[in-house]
Amino acid sequence: MSTPSLPQRMARNVPTELLRSFVAIVEAGSMAQATETIFLTQSALSLQMKRLEDVLQQKLFRRDGRKLVLTPAGEELVAYARQLLTLNDRIMHKLGHVSDPEPITVGMVQD
């Protein structure tokens, strides 16, 4: 008699938009500065970082006065995030289909 196998855990994905925002914050040095490069409000960025921490179940930043400092988990993640985003960008550049918008023809009656 064979024993039933336990169900496999479903693999989870880290959303690339969260990683892109995370890297932008690290490179800019603050959320306020990162808003200029990724065109999100500071509150939207803050919510994204909360979501990323929830997905990873790790604290990524700690506050040192008004400054954000990476935790050890954040330090480890930034290297992986850069690699993943570089690979993502390569895939999109090589294989992503970028289509030009179809031309629009407008007809008018001259009156």
Digit-coded pLDDT (tens) for 38-53 = 999 999 999 999 999 9
Position 6 scores a pLDDT of 64
Phi then psi dihedrals of residue 50, to 5 deg? -65, -45
d(CA 30, CA 68): 7
pTM, whole model, 2 decimals? 0.77
What is the distance in angstroms between the CA of the first residue and the CA of the last residue of the chain?
Answer: 88
Position 80 scores a pLDDT of 97
Instruction: Write b or e for each residue in 61-83: b if 16 or more Cβ atoms lie within 10 A of its Cβ, otherwise e.
Output: beeeeeebebeeebeebbeebee
Position 51 scores a pLDDT of 96
Residue-wise DSSP of 18-45: HHHHHHHHHHHSSHHHHHHHH---HHHH
d(CA 66, CA 111): 65
What CATH number is given for 16-94 in this structure? 1.10.10.10
Indicate whether 61 pLDDT > 90.
Answer: yes
Query: How does strand 67-70 pair with strand 61-64?
Result: antiparallel
DSSP label at residue 65: T
Position 7 scores a pLDDT of 67
